[in-house]
């Protein structure tokens, strides 16, 4: 999860989020280079005496400053498209979980099991135990096996919501009457926090998402205890 005074993203938990972090750093590097060049040129313009005011055209430099930005844009667009298509890929998922957004909580259904579904409400601040996180803790966590491809189906019962977990690089709109799909894969066990990311009403800030990624045998024990 995020920590106080954090700069940048949360640590990556999935391969997709690692790709996104690399892409972010790559793009930011280009932004820094362009900004430095522009600052340098501005400082030159302000400090240099322009002695060649009769110069009417400069074909060579115009060719360069037209083509160079186009090349830079391609260098950003290609890796961006690569990640976009990677995120769309459904890699033969071993488990499917459906989540529905409600005003204001999430409900989860493990559709591979006959009767495994629950609602996930935020724990109010007054009922928090020491060490628990305010506005992030829920009564029923989503327990999932780690290192396995999981298909998330996301929809909504009432208004627009958005199911988001930053450290997994996930953000999927929950739209009434429409079933959206994403895949999720965690490379390590742990607790991953997210929040609804669509302004959905007065309690929008109070419908957090908590994923508990555990080894497969723990997941099996949990699912057996839930049935």
Q: What angle do CA 148, 152, 153 make, to 5 degrees?
A: 155
The residue whose two tokens read 């929950």 is 174
161 belongs to the binding site for Cu ion (CB under 5 A):
yes
Contact pick of 17, 170, 196, 210 for Cu ion (by CB under 5 A): 196
102 belongs to the binding site for Cu ion (CB under 5 A):
no
- In this structure, what token pair is assigned to residue 83? 């990640």
Least gap, CB of 117 to Cu ion (angstroms): 19
**Which of these ranges, 114-122, 129-137, 147-155, 198-206, lies near Cu ion under the rule CB under 5 A?**
198-206
Contact pick of 16, 142, 154, 200 for Cu ion (by CB under 5 A): 200
Q: Is 112 helix (H, G, I), strand (E, B) or coil?
A: coil
Evaluate whether 169 touches 14 at the Cβ level (below 8 Å).
yes
209 belongs to the binding site for Cu ion (CB under 5 A):
no
210/192 Cα distance (integer angstroms): 6
**Which of these ranges, 90-98, 145-153, 158-166, 217-225, lies near Cu ion under the rule CB under 5 A?**
158-166
Query: Of 219, 201, 189, nearest to 161 (Cα)?
Result: 201
Least gap, CB of 110 to Cu ion (angstroms): 21
Give the residues lining the site for Cu ion (CB under 5 A). 161, 196, 200
């Amino acid at each position: 999860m995020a920590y106080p005074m954090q700069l940048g993203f949360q640590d990556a938990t999935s391969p997709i989020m690692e790709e996104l972090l690399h892409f972010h750093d790559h793009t930011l590097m280009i932004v820094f280079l362009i900004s430095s060049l522009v600052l340098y040129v501005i400082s030159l313009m302000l400090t240099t005496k322009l002695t060649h005011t009769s110069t009417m055209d400069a074909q060579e430099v115009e060719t360069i400053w037209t083509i160079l930005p186009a090349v830079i844009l391609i260098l950003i667009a290609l890796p961006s498209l690569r990640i976009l298509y990677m995120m769309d890929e459904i890699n033969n998922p071993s488990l499917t979980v459906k989540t529905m957004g409600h005003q204001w909580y999430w409900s989860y259904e493990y559709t591979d099991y006959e009767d495994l579904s629950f609602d996930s409400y935020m724990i109010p601040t007054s009922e928090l135990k020491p060490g628990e996180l305010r506005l992030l803790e829920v009564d029923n966590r989503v327990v999932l096996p780690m290192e396995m491809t999981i298909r998330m189906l996301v929809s909504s019962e009432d208004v627009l919501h958005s199911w988001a977990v930053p450290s997994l690089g996930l953000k999927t709109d929950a739209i009434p009457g429409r079933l959206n799909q994403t895949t999720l894969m965690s490379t390590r066990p742990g607790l991953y926090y997210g929040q609804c990311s669509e302004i959905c009403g007065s309690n929008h800030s109070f419908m957090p998402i908590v994923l508990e990624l555990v080894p497969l045998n723990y997941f099996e024990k949990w699912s057996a205890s839930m049935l």
